[in-house]
A and B are shown apart, each in its own frame.
Chain A
Amino acid sequence: MPNDPDFQRRVVKSALDLLGNDDTPVLVDYTEEAPATAKSGDEGEGWVCPISLPAQVKDPKEETIAEALSREIAELAPWYELAVQKSGRTTVGSSGFDVSAAGEFIVSFLSDGIPDSPIEGERVDRVLKWACDDLKAYYYEAILAQPGGPSSLDLDEWFFGQTTAGSVFFGVQKVLLDNDDEIIQFVGKERLIPRNQQHWSPLD
């Protein structure tokens, strides 16, 4: 349970108290349920993203998907910066890219196929996974700082179903699945899209 120090403390204390047992093995349930939160998905009401993002691609003749992704990242920037200011931290940073560079690297798979790894000594599919994690974290943090807390499922549905970034992920997934390298195929199948979001796939 995030941002609930009292609940967290009770859980940790309960775990450490088990060490006082003389009789073993010790395997007990923690019976206190996590405090209820006012996540919109819990009530069955559709969550609406408070940040209004324009159409994914304005007009294919005027804007490439790479340009649309870049525009979307830029539009989220003020919200992301506000989130970082509020929390004092960000979880973006596994890949070592800034988020724009991460987006450019990911979307390059759609036009150029599998590129060379931009990090010497690392497989390109690993770098892709880290870049995808960073891009996703950037989007999620931007939204999590907004009032009206969405559930994690709301966020997944929004990211994979309504954003340009989500559609880029599905496009990259197809590129990976079409590749002959079994590891790259595996990354495409298992490492980019959560199982509960595959229903947005244009391949289905």
Chain B
Amino acid sequence: MVRLRDLSSWDRQHILNADVPAIEGRPWVAGPTSAERRVAIVTTAGLHRHDDRPFTPGAGDYRIIPGDCAAQDLVMSHVSTNFDRTGFQEDLNVVFPIDRLRDMATDGLVGSLAKFHYSFMGGGTHPAWMRESAEIVAGLLHDDDVNTVLLVPV
């Protein structure tokens, strides 16, 4: 895993200085058993389908990725020019591990996958700017009977 000591001094300070909201209390609920998990991915890789509008700087909105979307239908419009895109260029699963979840569903390690997954812009967007969209997405996930979300920060 990436560690602070492995980052450039600029990146290290950037992360250490991040304005991270404090979370009050301990909002935790026990998860369902593996076989009962219906899993969705929420990634902040700025992924979207070819015909979706690309993300813009500071965007707090989201894009919907259908569960049966093929890798060749997805592109990335993440605003940062500094992070390494080569992993994504070689393998979508680096930022959107959909094939791994499909394998795990086939093997019974998770119950099922969501009909839809979601993508946000992870660079230059304060988490508070995503709040309205996040509440909408939470409702959509609930309507899809999703009880487990895999957050993939990029």
* Chain A residues packing against B (C-beta within 8 Å): 1-3, 5, 8-9, 11-13, 15-16, 19-20, 22, 24-25, 29-31, 33-34, 87-95, 126, 129-130, 133, 137, 140-141, 144, 152, 155, 190-196
Known: A1-B94, A126-B56. A195 touches B10 (CB 8 A): yes
* Chain B residues, CB < 8 A from A5: 93, 99-100, 103
> A92–B87 Cα gap in the complex (Å)?
14
Within 8 A of A (CB), among B38-76: 39, 50, 54, 56-57, 70-72, 74-76
Looking at the complex, which of B25-33, B112-120, B128-136, B137-145 is the stretch in contact with chain A?
B25-33
Complexed CA–CA distance, A9 and B1 (Å): 14
* Pairs across A and B, CB under 8 Å, 30 listed: A1-B94, A2-B94, A3-B91, A8-B93, A8-B94, A9-B104, A11-B97, A12-B104, A12-B150, A15-B150, A16-B37, A16-B110, A16-B150, A19-B37, A19-B148, A22-B30, A29-B1, A94-B75, A94-B77, A95-B54, A129-B79, A133-B76, A137-B85, A140-B86, A152-B87, A194-B81, A194-B82, A195-B8, A195-B10, A196-B82
Q: What A residues does B79 contact at CB under 8 A?
A: 129, 191
Given the complex, which residues of B lie within 8 Å of A93, measured CB to CB?
50, 75
Q: How many A-B residue pairs have CB under 8 A?
A: 109
Contact-size category for B: 35 or more
Residue of B nearest to A88 (CB): B72
Evaluate contact between A8 and B10: CB separation under 8 angstroms. Answer: no
Give the chain B neighbours of A141 by CB distance below 8 A: 89
Assess the B88–A13 pair: CB atoms within 8 A: no
Please name all residues of chain A whose beta carbon is closer than 8 Å to the beta carbon of B104 when the two chains form the complex. Answer: 9, 12-13
The answer on a CB contact under 8 Å between B89 and A133 is no
Docked pose: A197 CA to B136 CA in angstroms: 39
Task: Give Cα A24 to B23, complex, Å.
Answer: 13
Contact A9 B103, CB 8 Å, known A16-B39, A126-B56: yes
Contact flag A91-B97 (CB < 8 Å), given A16-B34, A16-B37? no
Choose from B10, B26, B94, B97 the contact partner of A24 (Cβ within 8 Å).
B26
- Known pairs A25-B26, A126-B54 / 12 extra A-B pairs, C-beta < 8 Å: A5-B93, A12-B100, A12-B150, A16-B109, A16-B110, A19-B31, A19-B37, A19-B148, A31-B1, A91-B89, A152-B87, A196-B82
The contact string, 1 if C-beta is below 8 Å from chain A, for chain B 3-28, is 00000101000000000000000101
Residue on B nearest A132 in the bound complex, by CB: B81
Distance A126 CA – B148 CA, assembled complex (angstroms): 35
**A30–B150 CB distance below 8 A:** no
Is the C-beta of B154 less than 8 angstroms from some C-beta in chain A?
no
Known contacts A12-B97, A22-B30: A3-B90 contact under CB 8 Å: yes
